[in-house]
Structure 1
């Protein structure tokens, strides 16, 4: 089961985003904005964040971030980061990662037309 408290905090933070949908996927509860995944609350308490692959190196340097894996030793690629619970425990930490994900979401949405 995902961290329901974190899921509630994300619901609240995304309330002004318009078309938000929740979907069970990636071993947790994913939040979609305008049809594209932004973040997923995972069973282990981590937050899976969809990021701009060009920012991967920069964002992996942030405390609590590491490359995302789908199962044991199966990297998800540069567009995905796992963020440990300690990095999202504060409102500031969660806001940072949601901001990163929403910025990329808006850009790919605009590129899609």
Structure 2
């Protein structure tokens, strides 16, 4: 799966104030983590955002935002935003804000807990 370097740059810009942000290759693209927990991802099929179980209903009401499907299974609490959705600066930032709120509430992971 090819990377979407343009989306990666948008996410880096939007998340530039996050001091605990790290990145790594994952999901056939780039994963962005806060305190070791997955926050979001950038792939050629869109932005993956971790909103938390039962916290994604509002996002799914937007055009070009869908449940994340992995290996034929719906991943609860994750959404995939296509180019129309992630290209909308306000919506992309709203998705990231919701993902940050959820992910910051998780216990930090250390390198020994992978």
Any unmatched runs of 5+ in structure 2?
109-114
Residue of structure 2 in register with 1:51 after alignment? 51
Give the conservation status (yes or no) of the 8 Å contact 1:67–1:75: no
CA distance in 2, matches of 1:47, 1:88: 7
Q: Name the TM-score, length of structure 1 as normaliser.
A: 0.84
Name which of structure 1's ranges 57-66 and 18-27 shifts more when overlaid on structure 2.
57-66
| Equivalent residue pairs, number | 107
Structure (1 or 2) with the greater helix fraction: 1
Q: Name the TM-score, length of structure 2 as normaliser.
A: 0.83
Any unmatched runs of 5+ in structure 1?
none
Q: Highest relative contact order (Cα 8 Å, sep 6+), 1 or 2?
A: 2
Q: Which runs of 4+ in 1 moved over 3 A?
A: none
CA distance in 2, matches of 1:76, 1:53: 11
